[in-house]
Amino acid sequence: MSSDDSLEAWSFDLPNDRIATRPPERRSDSRLLHLPLSGSGCEDRGIRDLVTLLRPGDRLVVNNTRVMAARLHGARSTGGRVEFVVLSPGPGPIPALARPAKKLKVGDVIALDSGDTVTIVTSAVEGVLTFLPSAPIEDIMERAGELPLPPYMERPADVADSERYQTVYAGPLGAAAAPTAGLHFDESLLAELAGMDVGLTRVTLHVGLGTFRPLRPEDIARGSLHSESTIVTEQAATEIAATRAAGGRIIAVGTTSARTLESATPMGAAAPEPGQRDTTLFIRPPYTFRGLDGLLTNFHLPRSSLLMLVASLCGKDRLFAAYQHAIHSGYRFYSYGDAMLLL
């Protein structure tokens, strides 16, 4: 076993004041740390410098999933409070992360604060159960749901988050957390990039349970992650193939877009195959990417699969050196934080 197969090998110390709990005033105010894949040193930039770092003919691949107002509150018949985080809008029984999960039994009816009810269908396994709602779950979430901000923000979602914790190109509903690398783009930056002939392709990965569950040694031993649903449309596959054929670079916006591309691109192929598929792909060193040439991503939690994915592109030592530079230079970390460009 490699020393990098231990979770401790992926730890680093991050001062609390580097964790962003609020977004910048404007999406495109974010800082950007450019780490060239050529091996040269990192450069301090801003997200708007993408217009100089990208070339005409390049293509950004973004994840257009829309975050659900997935956090629901209710009470058991005894009066004890219950919290659910919906992991998928269905169809069928709704999977949810429940708290306190062990106290919920099959057949229990939970009265939600919205006035609706849910009936427990399956017992919890590692905190996840399924329930049947008394009304369409999308309607319940619209009436009474809250955006499930990551726990390290240590605050509930507010009105501003309903806009800022979604990408400007969000489409199909289904994510339990935002694809955060996309939060840096506003309409003006996207228009400027389009004007210089940088393409934009939308794929979908509905972010699920892994956002809320820490990576475990058994995940590393198994070599796979929780299953998440992905979609690559015919249009997306055609756009990416055309860019490849013309010599353009494919830059994934976020680790979710990267996993979608890698899951859909067969060995030896240069472009993804269209289709809807579930992926458990765990990208960690050593790994050879086949579906992308670069990555725009946020700064990630220690001991996380996302950190390992990024290290697979640039090398662990270079990534950790870049993180230390970012920490010492005041970059903001995690969901509402700044970005890195590996290209």
- Signed CA dihedral, 44, 50, 56, 58: sign only: positive
pLDDT value at 212 more than 80: no
Can you give the pLDDT at residue 58?
98
Measure the CA–CA gap between 130 and 95, rounded to whole angstroms.
4
Can you give the pLDDT at residue 1?
42
Return the H-helix or E-strand segment holding 142: helix 137-144
Can you give the pLDDT at residue 8?
92
Tell me what the mean pLDDT of segment 225-253 comes to: 96
pLDDT value at 169 more than 60: yes
| pLDDT > 90 in the chain, percent | 88
pLDDT value at 81 more than 90: yes
Give whole-number Cα distances, 300 to 10, 229, 293, 306, in Å: 11, 22, 20, 6
Return the H-helix or E-strand segment holding 217: helix 217-222
Which pLDDT tens digit goes with each residue over 4-62? 788 999 999 999 999 999 999 999 999 999 999 988 889 999 999 999 999 999 999 99
Are 99 and 213 contacting, i.e. CB atoms less than 8 angstroms apart? no
Token duo for residue 140: 């319940």
**DSSP-based helix, strand, coil % in the chain, nearest 5:** 30, 25, 40
Token duo for residue 119: 């009936």
Which pLDDT tens digit goes with each residue over 117-151? 999 999 999 899 999 999 999 999 999 999 999 88
Measure the CA–CA gap between 219 and 231, rounded to whole angstroms.
24
pTM for the structure as a whole: 0.94
Can you give the pLDDT at residue 226?
86
Can you give the pLDDT at residue 227?
87
Can you give the pLDDT at residue 2?
54
Are 119 and 132 contacting, i.e. CB atoms less than 8 angstroms apart? yes
Tell me what the mean pLDDT of segment 317-324 comes to: 97
Q: Band of the pLDDT at 202, cuts 50, 70, 90?
A: very high
Give whole-number Cα distances, 33 to 49, 56, 152, 164, 333, in Å: 10, 21, 22, 21, 12
Query: Which of the four CATH numbers 1.10.10.60, 2.40.10.240, 3.30.210.10, 3.30.450.20 does domain 71-145 have?
Result: 2.40.10.240
Q: Band of the pLDDT at 220, cuts 50, 70, 90?
A: confident
Token duo for residue 62: 């973004």
More confident residue, 208 or 183: 183
| pLDDT > 70 in the chain, percent | 98
Tell me what the mean pLDDT of segment 197-213 comes to: 87
Q: Which CATH superfamily is domain 3-67+160-342 in?
A: QueA-like (3.40.1780.10)
Please report, for the chain, the start and end positions of each structural domain, with discontinuous segments joined by +.
3-67+160-342, 71-145
| Residues ≥6 apart with Cβ < 8 Å to 219 | 225, 282, 305
What is the gyration radius of the CA atoms in the chain, in angstroms?
Answer: 20
Are 148 and 177 contacting, i.e. CB atoms less than 8 angstroms apart? yes
Can you give the pLDDT at residue 215?
87
Are 281 and 304 contacting, i.e. CB atoms less than 8 angstroms apart? no
Q: Biggest alpha carbon distance in the chain?
A: 64
Can you give the pLDDT at residue 6?
87
Measure the CA–CA gap between 112 and 82, rounded to whole angstroms.
9
Which residue, 132, 16, 142, is CA-closest to 72?
142
Measure the CA–CA gap between 218 and 282, rounded to whole angstroms.
13
